[in-house]
Amino acid sequence: MITFKEAYAKVLEHTVDYGTEQVSLKDAVGRVLAVDVKSDRDFPPFNRATKDGIALSFSAIKNGQDSFKIEAVIPAGNPTIELKETTSCVEIMTGAVVPNSTDVVVMYEDISIENGIAKLQKVPTQGQNIHLKGSDEVKGAVVLHKNTLITAAEIGVLSAVGSAEVLVKKLPKITTIATGNELVEVTEVPLPHQIRKSNINSLCAALLEEHIVAKSLHLKDSKEAIKEALEVALQNNDVLLLSGGVSKGKFDFLPVVLEELGVEKVFHKVLQRPGKPFWFGIHKKTNTVIFSFPGNPASTFANYHIYFKDWLTESLELPVTANLVVLNENVENKGTLTLFLRVKITFENGKLIANRIKENGSGDLTSLANCDGFIKVAPNQNTYLKGDTIPFIKTRRVL
């Protein structure tokens, strides 16, 4: 059996580049940018008024002038108008092009207007309320870098530079597969010895947050049926996420069947809890990656977040971040397994505090809804003390 550290490293050795695809701007949210995006013009594209008021030449103020004839009005969206006389002014609106013959904008709040003459109430500063052409970005500058996650702010920038279509990283095609005769549909009333499918629904929901619409499959414990279905699934998917059927049981056909189908086992079983019987492999012929998780709810859920999430993040060339949180109580792990303990995160004075929650083993489904993630407790350790930091793997959005 390999250590958690070894298993994690092996999973991340098998990231895959799924190439790129063009999507429309509105479909780009949550996707990863596949190219540097450059501005097609200066940002802002002209000297832009940032206040409503008047534009004038500062030289006139230096000459002691404080009243200015209004020559014209420049709304946003109109070509600009130059001053006829440097001793005059124009009314100008926020977002309009500041005339080249002017170099200061005074807002309405700081002037009075009577009979077409604007009078200053206070002395302005040269250049004020003008957002200078190219001061944010110059034409041709990279405004968004390749491998950036596209959120609302990036959509704003993409819009501004005219990216109606965006080149993004392709996402893997995924099928989630539940195994086990004990499983029935959510709509069914289970017999006493049956339970409803929950793991693959949970996985599909988690994948949806990654903008991946996964398919689902349920395989009964028949070796032939499993083999037939997996053969097709390997052809049609980039990733298979399986739940159950990988332990020591008499009907745990997955490891054998996967190898019969030519899937190369990278490892089976990891010194960790929950999630020990995790089987990981790759099918070189179809370039399919197989995450075969043990079927206990906490095992599937933990391993998805511990391994698959970082594997996906690295496959998309986003940065994998290791986050530390502060322990709210002493924790020890004298055993040989890396432990993943459920915690709820609270915020205290800018610190992330990990509070352990009541949990009842690998099968405990409801505690997963009460936690924000897992702390990773390394094996063979002295006690971690309250106040120490410890690695944290989130299972929901924390901040």
Residues across the chain: 399
Closer Cβ to a copy of itself, 26 or 122, answer by number: 26
Whole-angstrom distance, CA of residue 16 vs CA of residue 174:
13
Task: Please give the residues from 293 up to 332 whose contact with a copy of itself meets the rule CB under 8 A.
Answer: 295-297, 301, 321, 323-326
Residue 130's SS3 state is strand
Task: Please give the residues from 353 up to 382 whose contact with a copy of itself meets the rule CB under 8 A.
Answer: 353, 360-369, 371
193 is an interface residue for a copy of itself by CB under 8 A: yes
Only one of the segments 7-15, 116-124, 188-196, 284-292 lies at the binding site for a copy of itself (rule: CB under 8 A); that segment is 188-196
Whole-angstrom distance, CA of residue 126 vs CA of residue 133:
16
What's the alpha-carbon Rg for the chain, to the nearest Å? 31
Only one of the segments 3-11, 60-68, 113-121, 342-350 lies at the binding site for a copy of itself (rule: CB under 8 A); that segment is 342-350
Closer Cβ to a copy of itself, 16 or 398, answer by number: 398
Task: Please give the residues from 236 up to 295 whose contact with a copy of itself meets the rule CB under 8 A.
Answer: 244, 247-252, 295
122 is an interface residue for a copy of itself by CB under 8 A: no
Which of 112, 194, 235, 336 is the binder for a copy of itself (CB under 8 A)? 194
Residue indicated by tokens 């501005």: 39
CB of 13 to a copy of itself, least distance (A): 26
Which of 7, 56, 89, 143 is the binder for a copy of itself (CB under 8 A)? 143
Whole-angstrom distance, CA of residue 58 vs CA of residue 125:
8
Q: Can you say whether the dihedral through the CA atoms of 251, 256, 261, 266 is positive or negative?
A: positive
Closer Cβ to a copy of itself, 177 or 352, answer by number: 352
CB of 241 to a copy of itself, least distance (A): 12
Residue 233's SS3 state is helix
CB of 237 to a copy of itself, least distance (A): 19
45 is an interface residue for a copy of itself by CB under 8 A: yes
Which element (helix H / strand E) includes 393? strand 389-394
- From the list 170, 234, 238, the residue with the least C-alpha distance to 18 is 170
127 is an interface residue for a copy of itself by CB under 8 A: no
Amino acid occupying residue 75: P
CB of 162 to a copy of itself, least distance (A): 6
- Count of other CB atoms within 10 angstroms of residue 101: 17
202 is an interface residue for a copy of itself by CB under 8 A: yes
**Cβ(258)–Cβ(281) below 8 Å:** yes
Closer Cβ to a copy of itself, 14 or 41, answer by number: 41
Only one of the segments 15-23, 59-67, 135-143, 375-383 lies at the binding site for a copy of itself (rule: CB under 8 A); that segment is 135-143
Task: Please give the residues from 4 up to 33 whose contact with a copy of itself meets the rule CB under 8 A.
Answer: 25-26, 29-30
**DSSP structural state of residue 310:** H
Only one of the segments 119-127, 134-142, 280-288, 311-319 lies at the binding site for a copy of itself (rule: CB under 8 A); that segment is 134-142
Q: Considering CB under 8 A, how many residues would be counted as binding a copy of itself?
A: 118
**Cβ(302)–Cβ(309) below 8 Å:** no
Whole-angstrom distance, CA of residue 81 vs CA of residue 55:
11
- From the list 199, 156, 385, the residue with the least C-alpha distance to 302 is 199
CB of 47 to a copy of itself, least distance (A): 11
Closer Cβ to a copy of itself, 2 or 195, answer by number: 195
203 is an interface residue for a copy of itself by CB under 8 A: yes
CA torsion, ordered 24, 30, 35, 40, to nearest 10 deg:
60
Binding mask 77-96 for a copy of itself (x = CB under 8 A): xxxx----------x-xxxx
224 is an interface residue for a copy of itself by CB under 8 A: no
CB of 284 to a copy of itself, least distance (A): 30
3-state SS track over 53-93: EEEECHHHHHCCCCEEEEEEEECCCCCCCCCCCCCCEEEEC
Q: Can you say whether the dihedral through the CA atoms of 126, 131, 134, 137 is positive or negative?
A: positive
